A and B are shown apart, each in its own frame.
Chain A
């Protein structure tokens, strides 16, 4: 009988025998050439205003999401789309609200409702939730750009979590890991001819911001300082707006608001509070939003039905006159003032609610 070491059919066939090369020379040359190429690549993109920035990816979002539930009633969390992400200065918000560092969960181009629902279902969340409302996205029938984030967060493996910390350490020192600078993204963004019967490919700008490890987003300097890039950003919005928004019936809106009301009530039942914030927009963006999502049908309904506090930039003198380089997000220098004013309005409105509740309680007694 053949032994375990003598099976003739499956003896060790060395299909991958080591080729006879000068391995030391080959390895060192390959390493040097790769490092050289990578350095040139990095230096080139630094010269084009790209700078190292924390990657705003699933790992960072999940790390931030896991902070929920640590500060009870004092906790401040933010869900929404890119405006509330870019426009609020987290440090200033914490200072003004005298709260722990806010947990920024807003995502660019993403519908905040599933995230509101997620926090409504998470009984550990009992704090203040600021919901950024970009009407088109808030009432969208789909999740939007990062609609899969929650599912990914729930399916995160131990390997994903560890990998995120390693990746954060490596990528935060180099600009070449910027998703826009991935080689094949760059190749794809070249001016490829359009096929007959197909519209030219939409090549909008993607990079509008830089992030830090707390998901504090700042408008990328190039959007503010480079008029050509700024124009491209504006053209991107013009193109996206030309696609039009979802066609919603009253019954659709009613159903959406029903879900939102349930979520708000769930948070409030635990002592939490929900404030909706409509950040500024300008120019053609504002015009398109006003036309596509008239305020009485959407925003006003939202505030009335939920009974929550709502801060709409059009309602407050102190929320006027900000600089929005590409019509949709505040310039870096505006963040502090905007955050101070919003925090002040939140405090005032919550105080009013508190007093009203107390008065109501006294009357009942």
Chain B
């Protein structure tokens, strides 16, 4: 079910009525669980079974892990959980990719082999919920938290619909305690949640879908080498689209949860105002980067085993982080580029030491970070290396030749959105949305809210899925 659909409006209205109605807390949680399964089943009912498998296995594994003291048995239990979750992920998300690469490898070695093309359906949001449940088993294994006291709470943690298919990736220790007792709603929390939902949908529907998606589609879809302006405009448009689409989803998820009385962690913090790449990853898809840090980078050794090993750990984390986004080598290269950026930043920082950056250098660093992030986005958006190469050729060809595919409206739209977005990110880079809103007079806030609602109504458009659903 898409947030930007009439179906969701009806669904959410029913959920709210039941959730704020005169029922016991357990009944309300049961309602939420059923609603969450319905939310997921609205795409493809049979795929709910995968969530059930993950839920049941991790529930029992964690229970046993908690009481088991023998190390080998504990490791075995953990492997059951990891193999189940990663097995589901690999089978459904990377099956075709692995077969295609295996075939290509054999053919390169001169061994004739042709595998039947598997027709595997990618379950929506599979990367999100498998990571979330794996975190539960890993936390219990590492004795960092106890298993949930109630199966209902745990099942709801795995399936909680606002963040089920595209995050934020929530830790068990963050969400499960919130299910244990009825939440205390702050005054105005419900309206604040509705406002955040409006704001998220505005980012997605108005900015991402209506203003910039078509521009990046036209630029990346062109078969000829583009004119330099068209190429850069296409990349700018995609950088705005991916942010507004994904941050929009997270904001709707956070708002939805607030309306129900729950809090979600922050997933974005004005990422295009980052100075350096470690700063960027503290601002972009924060719940994924902290997940990768805690469950991959740190277990690999983190920065505890010397400089060289740290760089290797960083690169492995980023390459796998890239692959997490999709079963394509272009995503791996995107992750690898970010790994290189982080390594380069560490080299610079080692030379610079702890001295504070002067203002001009911070500004230059911010610009360089943004530029390099844009370059990496080319691999993220391109469907293959041929497209990526074509885009790079156009972006760095200063001859003035190349095909023009974007009209003046599209160029104006993409550049305007970029300028406004960058201005907002730099202006508010160290502030919470709440504190920004806090400073607004009520009538201005109400006017902005009304304008966003009006634009949502009159923008029309189709029910475009959120980009991160495919991950």
Chain A interface residues (CB < 8 Å from chain B)? 1-5, 7, 9-27, 29-34, 37-38, 41, 57, 157-160, 162-163, 166-167, 170, 176-179, 181-185, 187-188, 190, 192-195, 197-198, 201
Contacts and interface: CB of A to CB of B under 8 A. Distances in A.
Interface string B425-444: 00000001111011010110
Nearest to B449: A30
Interface of B: 1-2, 5-7, 9-10, 41-45, 139, 143-149, 171-174, 176-178, 180, 186-189, 191-192, 194, 196, 210-211, 254, 258, 263-266, 404, 407-409, 411-412, 432-435, 437-438, 440, 442-443, 445-447, 449-451, 453-455, 457-463
Overall SS of chain B's interface: helix
Contact of A176 (B174, B440, B458): B458
B188 A194 contact: no
Contacts of B148: 4
A198 B432 contact: no
B6 A170 contact: yes
B445 A21 contact: yes
B263 A16 contact: yes
Contacts of A29: 442-443, 446-447, 450
A2 B454 contact: no
Contact of B266 (A15, A160, A166): A15
Nearest to A38: B457
A195 B403 CA distance: 12
A198 B404 CA distance: 7
Nearest to B188: A23
Given A16-B258, A27-B191, A7 B145 contact: yes
Contact of A194 (B178, B186, B192, B407): B407
B240 to A, nearest CB: 14
B44 A157 contact: yes
Contact of A18 (B187, B265, B266, B462): B187
A18 B7 contact: no
A215 to B, nearest CB: 18
Contacts of A201: 407, 409
Contacts, number: 193
Contact of B254 (A12, A16, A176): A16
Contacts of B10: 166
Contact of B409 (A14, A157, A177, A188): A188
Which 9 pairs between the two chains have the least Cβ-Cβ distance?
A182-B460, A7-B173, A33-B450, A159-B42, A23-B188, A29-B446, A163-B7, A30-B449, A34-B453
Contact of B446 (A26, A178, A187): A26
Q: Which of A10, A11, A25 has the most CB of B within 10 A?
A: A10
A17 B186 contact: yes
Contacts of B432: 15-17
Given A23-B188, A166-B7, A176-B457, A5 B265 contact: no
A16 B461 contact: no
B434 A162 contact: no
B442 A33 contact: no
Contact of B442 (A2, A25, A157, A162): A25
Contacts of B191: 23-24, 26-27
Contacts of A197: 404
A18 B146 contact: no
A306 B139 CA distance: 68
Contacts of A16: 192, 196, 254, 258, 263-264, 266, 432-434
Given A3-B146, A13-B265, A37-B454, 17 more contacts: A4-B172, A4-B173, A4-B177, A11-B173, A21-B445, A29-B446, A30-B450, A34-B453, A157-B44, A159-B5, A159-B42, A159-B43, A182-B459, A182-B461, A190-B409, A192-B409, A195-B404
Contacts of A170: 6
Given A10-B173, A25-B442, A194-B408, A34 B454 contact: yes
A5 B460 contact: no
A167 B407 contact: no
B145 A3 contact: yes
A21 B188 contact: yes
Contacts of B1: 159
A160 B10 CA distance: 13
Nearest to B463: A163
A18 B434 CA distance: 7
Contacts of B187: 18, 23
A175 to B, nearest CB: 12
A19 B177 CA distance: 24
Contacts of B194: 27
A71 to B, nearest CB: 29
Nearest to B180: A5
Contacts of A13: 263, 265-266
A38 B451 CA distance: 10
28 contacts: A3-B145, A4-B176, A4-B177, A7-B144, A11-B174, A15-B434, A16-B264, A17-B432, A18-B187, A21-B188, A23-B191, A26-B191, A27-B194, A29-B446, A31-B450, A33-B447, A33-B450, A34-B454, A41-B457, A157-B42, A160-B463, A177-B460, A181-B458, A182-B461, A183-B460, A185-B460, A188-B409, A201-B409
